[in-house]
Amino acid sequence: MPFSHHRLKKAVRRGAVQGCSGRAVARLLFLLVLMSGWGPVMAELPVPEGIVVPEDEYEGKHVPQPIEFPHDVHTKVNQINCMYCHTYARRSKVAGIPPTSKCMGCHKIIATDKPRIQKLTEYWERGESPKWKKVHDVPDYVHFTHEKHLKRFVFDKDFPVEDVYQVCGVCHGNVMEMTVAEKQRSLTMGFCRRCHEANEGPGDCWACHK
């Protein structure tokens, strides 16, 4: 059912000229990661070209959701782009969770016999959305914005938009392999700052503590 694939890809794609300065570094880092046996999850996720990924230690956190939403079925099997649902990521602080109307654009006709879709339809008919619980949540005194990171790592360098999950993955792990999203990166100050240091991001306190 890849009906959305080409349309979506077109909609979000720009010319595909790629720099290769970061490529060698990224490959080397990926190899080091593999050799150091740094968790199987990290090894599965390709290191996106042009990003030096900082070290991180984190156990992972699972947050139960009102409906078990399978990221893998949508993104891996049906190749729906992350930014098709998380539409605000490229232009604002937040990435955004899609409203139920967006789900129903497909699920009025797709998999209507499945219990989870019937539950979703009940929410829709009541005019409600499932109460998705927050998985990632930095403290209020921290300033974070998706837009700047995606601009720098995707759009400014014509990184292929269909591979954007690799860039999301630096901070969110390999969501394409997950059902409901799990927290897999620490997102602590140390992690943020190490990445800024390695990738020429801002180092001053006020960049993140306005």
| Cβ pair 9, 162 in contact under 8 A | yes
By CB atoms closer than 10 A (0-12, 13-18, 19+), residue 49 is buried
Of positions 22, 45, 146, 166, contacts ligand HEC by CB under 6 A: 146
Of positions 149, 161, 166, 184, contacts ligand HEC by CB under 6 A: 149
- What span, in angstroms and rounded, lies between the C-alpha atoms of 34 and 56? 14
Task: Give the pair of three-digit tokens for residue 151.
Answer: 């601009």
Q: Rounded to the nearest whole angstrom, what is the least distance from the CB of residue 122 to ligand HEC in the complex?
A: 12
By C-alpha distance, which of 193, 65, 179, 62 is closest to 130?
A: 65
**160 conformational bin, left if phi > 0, alpha if psi -120 to 50, beta if neither:** beta
Which residues from 168-187 bind ligand HEC, rule CB under 6 A? 168, 170-172, 175-176, 180-181, 187
Check binding of 5 to ligand HEC (CB under 6 A). no
By CB atoms closer than 10 A (0-12, 13-18, 19+), residue 164 is buried
Q: Of 59 and 200, which CB lies nearer to ligand HEC in the complex structure? A: 200
Of positions 18, 79, 87, 199, contacts ligand HEC by CB under 6 A: 199
| Cβ pair 176, 185 in contact under 8 A | no
Provide CB contacts within 8 A for 203, sequence distance 6+.
193, 196, 197
Q: Of 43 and 96, which CB lies nearer to ligand HEC in the complex structure? A: 96
Which residues from 72-91 bind ligand HEC, rule CB under 6 A? 73-75, 78, 80, 82-86, 89
Which residues from 23-52 bind ligand HEC, rule CB under 6 A? 51
Which residues from 117-136 bind ligand HEC, rule CB under 6 A? 117, 120, 132, 134-136
Strand partners, 61: 183
Check binding of 137 to ligand HEC (CB under 6 A). yes
Check binding of 95 to ligand HEC (CB under 6 A). yes
Piece in contact with ligand HEC (CB under 6 A), picked from 9-17, 26-34, 35-43, 167-175: 167-175
Q: Of 41 and 106, which CB lies nearer to ligand HEC in the complex structure? A: 106
Question: CA angle at residue 174 from 169 to 175, to 5 degrees?
Answer: 95
Q: Rounded to the nearest whole angstrom, what is the least distance from the CB of residue 73 to ligand HEC in the complex?
A: 5
